[in-house]
Amino acid sequence: MQAELDGVLGAGTKRRLPSPDDMGSLPVLRACVDETLRMFPAAPLTNRVALQDDVIDGYNIPAGTVRSLLSLRDGVSRFAFLERFPSCSLRVFTECAAAAQDIFICPGVLHRLPSLWTNPGVFSLDRWLPKPEGAAAGAGEGLAVGSFTYMPFLVGPHGCIGRRFAHLEACTTLAVILQRFSFAPVAGREVRATLRVTQRPNPSLQLMVTPR
Ligand code: HEM
């Protein structure tokens, strides 16, 4: 990524700040942001209320089916439940067909379904780069996915209105930082993702920072 940045924006004293127009020339940088949002979407789940009876992907959704984020006792166990239904690959999951009380939309699950992604547990920039001749399985697949397969900003009328700005901001910030510093993990410090309304690292992320 730093080689790409140096090539496009210049290195050392000759470097310049990135502009929005540079983003088309920085595919690896964009791939890093896209793949991070696939594996660790800031909003791994959200919910909706059904205003009228519906059937989605064979699941009955009665009117009034409610959301209840506050009743979220254990996000992990609910994720485990959802993962038992890999065939429910579209956009809405019911927590329990019989009780049918919650409608969850779960990018955090969707983004890791083996039926949709090759080796979904592996962080791979190649998913987001054009597939070269003879590339490994999964290369370029992110470029071909539909908006109901990859939705870190959600979709529909209440999808994120700041998505373009947020993506540009993430790419620009990352570019400026990586132009100046290199990062390495702190040995022995295990960091996992945790759910606190949004998904975040736990314990907090610590990195070794080296000026370039
Ligand atoms: C990486 C950064 C961001 C991520 C991952 C993100 C993600 C999301 C998601 C998933 C939703 C839908 C939530 C739901 O419906 O349950 C949402 C809604 C929203 N986002 Fe973002 N967002 C980001 C940054 C921003 C920024 C920078 C802005 C403003 C400039 C913004 C403004 C909004 C607004 C206003 C809504 C509510 C839209 C509505 O309900 O009609 N977001 N965002």
pTM: 0.84
pLDDT of amino acid 44: 84
The fold of 2-44+106-211 is Cytochrome p450 (1.10.630)
pLDDT of amino acid 102: 60
Q: What is the pLDDT of residues 155-174, one digit of tens each?
A: 888 889 999 999 999 999 99
Confirm or reject: Cβ of 153 under 6 Å from ligand 1. Answer: yes
Please give the span between the terminal C-alpha atoms of the chain, in angstroms, as a whole number: 14
Half-sphere exposure of 205 (CA within 13 A, CB side): 11
Query: CA 154 to CA 45: how far, in whole Å?
Result: 9
Long-range contacts, stretch 162-171, CB < 8 angstroms, 24+ apart: 167/30, 167/33, 168/20, 168/23, 170/33, 171/18, 171/23, 171/26, 171/29, 171/30, 171/33
Half-sphere exposure of 110 (CA within 13 A, CB side): 27
pLDDT band (50, 70, 90) for residue 66: low
Query: CA 87 to CA 113: how far, in whole Å?
Result: 9
Nearest-CA residue for ligand 1 atom 43 is: 160
Confirm or reject: Cβ of 183 under 6 Å from ligand 1. Answer: no
Nearest-CA residue for ligand 1 atom 25 is: 162
Q: Average the pLDDT over 29-34 and give the result.
A: 98
Structural domain boundaries in the chain:
2-44+106-211
Nearest-CA residue for ligand 1 atom 18 is: 160
